[in-house]
């Protein structure tokens, strides 16, 4: 049987980094980890091909070749997913759909033949068995959570690795917290389930054997959900493996703010090769944090917590939300000030939007405040619910925050302030390559000669070069990020 695995295209959003990737000749940030893992669960005798529409076009001959088409997607990919489904059905192809988008809202896609929902470790085997015996059902779903110690190695052979800037890996599923606006616990449970240390080392070794020597992102929604296993098993093993391989990778992940309370854990992470963490800050408003159940962020100085993580050589990216019921009218300036004071360069500020499987969705349905489907993109100036704050005031305030943090002068000043005080994880030896040199030349030409904020670029360039040369690559990287953010928010900025 011929299986075509399709991954829909992302729109031009904050996290697409579309405009930044051009500087390093890449097409997308990450490959579709879910699909290449599903590939390893399919019978070995089946022929498989992956087409990621973020890095290549979908040819009609590929669709015609396939006996069955698998599609996985997130909500933000809805438009592209629907286009793929329509195109494949016009060629009379059978479609199997799974992943977060279809698990959340299968009823939006009546043309799909089979839904394999929730976690594939549980729902895929019975579908394959029924398919082989000629009697597949339309929907396979479960309320159980998989033992991911049984999850196979992803099929990295399907990836066109040269097209991506980062590979990804998964260690755990689930989160010990249960924030009202988040659907992670609904999708993956409250209990943190982990792969074995041996699995992760095998995955790292498998990636290493492909020749990859760059960034790897742990996609866990909260990497530190089980601190004990991390500190006693996984991180010590990763440190040993990384040392034996002369630190071939640079890791990043997502974690909760309570990482800042654990000096030992932060030290182990940097020793293992972690350089960055994404943390959900959400808001500076204590009442809004209590409203949404973000208990780990309450009763602490959030700026000082970020500084503690940065002091350990871990860069901090942050998620921020506007539109909580308890947001005050001063929340907009508070967010600008917090982002500036904390030194968070990559600050994803979005409007509150409500996925179906969240506790917030259930509450707002009862209150009659849900008005649209969840788009998956909370930076496109849309809301799918009626906010308590006047909508016009909320949108104008959001635009004020975007201008305040991603306007050229403001952004470059924040990067410069950060460069002056941050010391990155120095366990990695820089690798000078032709591609890096070309990327540097492109950035200097595009940002230093053509960009509106070229004066600010050169100020950062020369100050860093002469005063903190070890921070120079990071300064240029953040300059490129800033260019991407200004393009994404160009209508506002």
Chain-centroid distance, C-alpha 485: 16
State the Cα–Cα distance between residues 311 and 266, nearest whole angstrom. Answer: 10
Q: Does 304 fall in a domain?
A: yes
Q: Which residues sit opposite 24 in a β-bridge?
A: none
Q: Does 278 fall in a domain?
A: yes
Residue-wise pLDDT for 87-113, tens only, equals 999 999 999 999 999 999 999 999 999
Answer yes or no: do 127 and 216 share one domain. Answer: no
Q: Is 362 exposed, middle or buried (0-12, 13-18, 19+ CB in 10 A)?
A: middle
Contact between 39 and 158 (Cβ < 8 Å):
yes
Answer yes or no: do 113 and 229 share one domain. Answer: no
Q: 């200004």: which residue's tokens?
A: 486
Q: Does 147 fall in a domain?
A: no
Answer yes or no: do 261 and 376 share one domain. Answer: yes
Cα angle 345, 280, 398; round to 5: 65
Answer yes or no: do 402 and 454 share one domain. Answer: no
Q: Does 493 fall in a domain?
A: no
CATH code for the domain of 92: 3.40.50
Residues belonging to the chain: 493
Q: Does 282 fall in a domain?
A: yes
Q: 């004990």: which residue's tokens?
A: 228
Residue-wise pLDDT for 156-193, tens only, equals 999 999 999 999 999 999 999 999 999 999 999 999 99
Answer yes or no: do 337 and 442 share one domain. Answer: no
| Owning domain of residue 28 | 2-140
Answer yes or no: do 135 and 175 share one domain. Answer: no
The domain boundary, picked from 406, 426, 445, lies at 406
Q: What is the DSSP code (8-state) at residue 231? A: I
Q: Which pLDDT value is given to residue 412?
A: 98
Strand runs labelled E in 40-121: 47-52, 68-72, 95-98, 114-116
Nearest alpha carbon to residue 489 among 391, 386, 404: 404
Residue 330 tokens, joined: 């001063």
Answer yes or no: do 92 and 237 share one domain. Answer: no
> Measuring CA to CA, how many Å separate 17 from each of 14, 28, 162, 341, 487?
6, 8, 16, 24, 10
Answer yes or no: do 350 and 443 share one domain. Answer: no
Q: Which residues sit opposite 68 in a β-bridge?
A: 3
Q: Which residues sit opposite 5 in a β-bridge?
A: 50, 70
Q: Does 150 fall in a domain?
A: no
Q: Does 156 fall in a domain?
A: no
Contact between 463 and 416 (Cβ < 8 Å):
yes
CATH code for the domain of 321: 3.20.20.70
Answer yes or no: do 325 and 214 share one domain. Answer: yes
Count of domains for the chain = 3
The domain boundary, picked from 92, 124, 140, lies at 140
Answer yes or no: do 237 and 361 share one domain. Answer: yes
Answer yes or no: do 401 and 483 share one domain. Answer: no
Answer yes or no: do 284 and 318 share one domain. Answer: yes
Interior/surface letters 40-56, b for 16+ CB within 10 angstroms, e for the rest = bebeeeeebebbbbbbe
Q: Which pLDDT value is given to residue 456?
A: 97
pLDDT (tens digit, 0 to 9) for every residue of the chain, 493 residues total?
A: 999 999 999 999 999 999 999 999 999 999 999 999 999 999 999 999 999 999 999 999 999 999 999 999 999 999 999 999 999 999 999 999 999 999 999 999 999 999 999 999 999 999 999 999 999 999 999 999 999 999 999 999 999 999 999 999 999 999 999 999 999 999 999 999 999 999 999 999 999 999 999 999 999 999 999 999 999 999 999 999 999 999 999 999 999 999 999 999 999 999 999 999 999 999 999 999 999 999 999 999 999 999 999 999 999 999 999 999 999 999 999 999 999 999 999 999 999 999 999 999 999 999 999 999 899 998 999 999 999 999 999 999 999 999 999 999 999 999 999 999 999 887 655 455 666 688 789 999 999 999 999 999 999 999 999 999 989 999 999 999 999 999 999 999 8
State the Cα–Cα distance between residues 302 and 280, nearest whole angstrom. Answer: 11
Q: Does 391 fall in a domain?
A: yes
> Measuring CA to CA, how many Å separate 270 from each of 243, 249, 256, 426?
12, 12, 16, 9
Q: Which residues contact 134 (CB under 8 A, 6 or more apart)?
A: none
């Amino acid at each position: 049987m011929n299986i075509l695995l399709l991954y829909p295209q992302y729109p031009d959003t904050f996290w697409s980094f579309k405009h930044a990737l051009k500087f390093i000749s890449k097409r997308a940030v990450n490959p579709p980890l879910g699909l290449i893992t599903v590939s390893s669960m399919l019978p070995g005798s089946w022929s498989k091909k992956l087409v990621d529409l973020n890095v290549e076009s979908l040819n009609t001959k590929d669709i015609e070749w396939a006996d069955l088409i698998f599609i996985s997607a997130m909500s933000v990919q809805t438009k592209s997913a629907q286009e793929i489904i329509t195109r494949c059905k016009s060629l009379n192809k059978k479609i199997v759909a799974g992943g977060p988008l279809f698990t959340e809202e299968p009823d939006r896609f009546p043309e799909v033949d089979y839904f394999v929902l929730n976690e594939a470790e549980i729902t895929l085997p019975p579908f394959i068995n029924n398919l082989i015996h000629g009697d597949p059902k339309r929907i396979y779903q479960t309320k159980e959570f998989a033992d991911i110690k049984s999850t196979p190695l992803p099929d990295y052979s399907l990836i066109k690795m040269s097209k991506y800037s980062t590979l990804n890996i998964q260690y755990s599923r689930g989160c010990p917290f249960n924030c009202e606006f988040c659907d992670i616990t609904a999708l993956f449970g409250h209990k943190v389930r982990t792969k074995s240390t041996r699995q992760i080392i095998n995955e790292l070794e498998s990636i290493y054997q492909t020749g990859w020597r760059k960034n790897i992102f742990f996609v866990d929604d909260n990497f530190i959900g089980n601190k004990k296993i991390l500190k006693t098993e996984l991180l010590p093993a990763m440190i040993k493996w990384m040392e034996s391989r002369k630190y071939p990778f640079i890791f990043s992940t997502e974690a909760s703010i309570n990482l800042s309370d654990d000096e030992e854990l932060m030290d182990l992470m940097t020793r293992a090769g972690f350089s960055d963490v994404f943390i959900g800050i959400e808001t500076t408003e204590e009442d809004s944090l209590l409203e949404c159940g973000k208990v780990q962020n309450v009763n602490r100085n959030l700026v000082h917590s970020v500084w503690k993580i940065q002091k350990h050589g871990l860069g901090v990216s942050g998620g921020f939300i506007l539109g909580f019921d308890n947001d005050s009218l001063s929340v907009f300036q508070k967010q600008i000030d917090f982002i500036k004071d904390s030194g968070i360069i990559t600050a994803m500020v979005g409007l509150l939007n409500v996925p179906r499987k969240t506790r917030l969705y259930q509450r707002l349905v009862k209150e009659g405040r849900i008005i649209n489907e969840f788009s998956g993109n909370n930076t496109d100036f849309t809301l799918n619910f009626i906010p308590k704050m006047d909508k016009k005031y909320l949108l104008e305030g959001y635009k004020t925050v975007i201008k305040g943090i991603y306007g050229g002068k403001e952004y470059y000043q924040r990067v410069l302030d950060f460069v002056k005080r941050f010391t990155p994880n120095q366990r990695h030896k820089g690798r000078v390559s032709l591609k890096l040199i070309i990327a540097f030349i492109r950035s200097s030409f595009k940002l230093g000669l053509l960009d509106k904020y070229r004066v600010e670029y050169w100020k950062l360039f020369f100050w860093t070069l002469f005063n903190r040369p070890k921070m120079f690559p990071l300064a240029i990287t953040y300059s490129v990020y800033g260019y991407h953010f200004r393009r994404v928010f160009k209508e506002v900025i």
